[in-house]
Amino acid sequence: MQKVILLSKWKVVISSSKTAVSTPTAIDRKIASALEKVSQVLRTLAWKKATEQSINPIQLQILIFLLQHPEQQVSVSLLSGTFNISKASISDTIKLLERKMLIEKVYDPSDSRKFTIQLLAEGRISALEAALFDRALLSGIGEMAAVDKENLFSTLSQLLHKLYCVNVISHQRMCQTCQHYRKKENLHYCNLLQQFMAVAALQIDCPEHLAQP
């Protein structure tokens, strides 16, 4: 049997069976502790901003997602998969945002049961404000040297990919899990763009992502 725990937007699956894992070192535990502290900061900032706007954190996340993905046909299924929350809970959240006149449903003319979700004018204003929830964290990151930022991003990308490969987190639209991605001469290469990519150009939420089989 497996036990499922929801942490932020990722679904963490913990298997009850024993698996072979290396013994964590002192630095391993320190890194995990540091990541947990950053996670706590993000949760606190999200709660604070959501409270200011009289919404809850998942409503805040959905508004930001709609703002940042204007090119996508955003459905209940997509939001459910993205945030690892049941379709029923997402549907309830959408109803609340609709009542607040922040979003609207756009129905499929060929099937009235299907609809996508988009921001209304007031919703866009709220989403722009909501998207500022992490500016304190961004301010701290902004003070880092450029090389340190790139190294940190590279390390975190590798960690996310490793966690995805062992089914600890759900599907991520990142370069390393995309069919277009290749490693050439130990460099990152995108077959879609037909070009090599610097570490800073790698994506962790690419709209052109094509999942590997």
Q: Return d(Cα 40, Cα 58) in angstroms, integer.
A: 16
What is the CATH code of the structural domain delimited by 28-143? 1.10.10.10
Q: List beta partners, residue 187.
A: 184
Residues of the chain with CATH 1.10.10.10: 28-143
Question: What confidence category does residue 185 fall into, taking pLDDT thresholds of 50, 70 and 90?
Answer: confident
Rounded average pLDDT over 159-168:
88
Task: Output the six-digit token pair for 10.
Answer: 């990722």
Q: Return d(Cα 103, Cα 127) in angstroms, integer.
A: 10
Q: Is the pLDDT of residue 68 over 80?
A: yes
55 burial via Cβ count (<10 Å: 0-12, 13-18, 19+): buried
Handedness of CA 39, 40, 44, 50 (dihedral sign): positive
**pLDDT > 70: what percent of the chain?**
90
Mean pLDDT of the residues in the chain:
87
Q: What is the predicted pLDDT for the residue at 22?
A: 77
Q: What is the predicted pLDDT for the residue at 171?
A: 66
Q: Return d(Cα 102, Cα 130) in angstroms, integer.
A: 12
Rounded average pLDDT over 152-180:
88
Q: What is the predicted pLDDT for the residue at 189?
A: 94
Express each pLDDT in 104-141 by its tens digit: 999 988 888 889 999 999 999 999 999 999 999 999 99
Question: What confidence category does residue 49 fall into, taking pLDDT thresholds of 50, 70 and 90?
Answer: very high
Rounded average pLDDT over 46-75:
92
Q: Is the pLDDT of residue 3 over 50?
A: no
